[in-house]
Amino acid sequence: MDRRQAVSGLAAACLAAPFAGTASAQAAVADFYRGKQITLLVGYAPGGGYDITARLVARYIGKYIPGHPDIVVQNMPGAGSMRAANYTYVNAPKDGTTFALIARDTPLLGLLGVDPNVRFDVHKFGWVGSSSSYANDAYVLVLGPKAPAHTIAEARKPDTPPLVLGGTGAGGTDADVPKILRDTIGIRIKQVLGYTATPAIVLAVERGEVDGRTFDYSYVKTSRPQWLKSDSGFGILVQFARRTRHPDLPNVPTARELAIDAKARELIVFAETPLLTMARPYAAPPDVPPERLAALRSAFDAAHHDPDFIAESEKLGIDISPVTADAIVHALDDMAHASPTVLDYMKKLMAGAKGG
């Protein structure tokens, strides 16, 4: 209740002035959006964490956009959200009636320039914001009962079969983070990529088709709480995108703790940046009229401070710790200026030079 009360004043202010432009600009934006429909694309199939978050945003953002347009969610899964990112950049209307929730690693793929499927310039997207900075979450490697290893020591042994981990596709966090863990903390893995979305991988883990997968901890708590029971046979091997251990997981080490050397730790810190600044990033096409992009950004911020939005997110178990569009832009600039060693590693990794 304290959290909701703390933001109620801000939300009221945002309702009164959802777009801090001139009166004429606000009127023009309202005239444009009135009676229209905005499409919110989601780069994954229904049912996963991205989809749940996008649908929550869609229920609230419209009332903060001048003219109060309807918001319709459209799922566009494919290649770890690359399909949705490319569509948004190249094909989507550039008038402010479309924006997308894409994978947190997709901007990094664009930044590094190693994937021939990338058709966007990450610096030209109209960034709207991110629903999460992972402040109350963690990205965890969950293993099922049939996994050949359940401790870091076992997973590092050369005579232990590699952990078979499910994932979506290149650019997806579940595809890239396991490789980073392999190279920075020394665990042995094999990947099976190409699943359409999280629910399909959940079933694969439960059936023993794969040994495990990396998940948002909040998703596991909400959708598969039985996995967290001590007698379930499931276990969490490591937590990623955490500077310190999550309060719920005091006995699970962070990747930073397990880094095999200083260079590995530097790589982990860099790789965690997308999660810690853009865990749920929303992007509009390039060249959206500035006043409409500003209105989308303002409405996005206001929706995330709406007390009802926050209350609903808590019921859903979603981490809401919003990040502004400016913060995303600054994070991308910082990543572009990382050390050559780190950038070279990430380029090779994300180009598939090390394999799966």
- 163: nearest Cα among 194, 186, 137: 186
Domain with CATH 3.40.190.150 in the chain: 2-134+274-348
Strand intervals (E) in 36-187 = 37-42, 70-75, 98-101, 126-130, 139-143, 163-167
Element (H, E) at 325: helix 325-336
The lowest-confidence range among 94-98, 198-202, 250-254 is 198-202
Can you say whether the dihedral through the CA atoms of 264, 268, 269, 270 is positive or negative? positive
Domain with CATH 3.40.190.10 in the chain: 139-273
pLDDT tier at 96 (50, 70, 90 boundaries)?
A: very high
Contacts of 55 (CB under 8 A, 6+ apart): 73
- Secondary structure percentages of the chain, helix, strand, coil, to 5: 50, 15, 35
- Supply the pLDDT for residue 24: 87
Element (H, E) at 291: helix 290-304
- 5: nearest Cα among 322, 310, 307, 311: 307
2, pLDDT greater than 50: no
CA dist list (Å): 190 to 139, 150, 210, 337? 19, 15, 10, 31
**Model pTM score:** 0.78
Q: Which CATH number fits domain 2-134+274-348: 2.60.40.10, 3.40.190.150, 3.40.50.300, 3.30.300.160?
A: 3.40.190.150
Q: Are 112 and 350 spatial neighbours (Cβ–Cβ below 8 Å)?
A: yes
Can you say whether the dihedral through the CA atoms of 156, 161, 162, 168 is positive or negative? negative
- Supply the pLDDT for residue 120: 98
- Rounded to 5°, the CA angle 84-85-88 comes to 80
Q: How far apart are CA 232 and CA 352, in angstroms?
A: 35
Give the tens place of pLDDT for each residue, 52-85.
999 999 999 999 999 999 999 999 998 889 999 9
- 215: nearest Cα among 232, 238, 187: 238
- Supply the pLDDT for residue 353: 39
44, pLDDT greater than 50: yes
CATH topology assigned to domain 139-273 = D-Maltodextrin-Binding Protein; domain 2 (3.40.190)
Q: How far apart are CA 207 and CA 190, in angstroms?
A: 17
- Average pLDDT across the chain, whole number: 91
> Which of left, alpha, beta for 79 (phi over 0: left; psi -120 to 50: alpha)?
left
Give the max Cα distance, the chain.
70
Give the tens place of pLDDT for each residue, 261-292.
999 999 999 999 988 889 999 999 999 999 99
Element (H, E) at 60: helix 49-61
Q: Are 302 and 11 spatial neighbours (Cβ–Cβ below 8 Å)?
A: yes
User: In percent, how much of the chain has pLDDT > 90?
Assistant: 76
pLDDT tier at 196 (50, 70, 90 boundaries)?
A: confident
What DSSP state is assigned to residue 162?
A: P
Q: Are 346 and 270 spatial neighbours (Cβ–Cβ below 8 Å)?
A: yes
- Supply the pLDDT for residue 170: 60
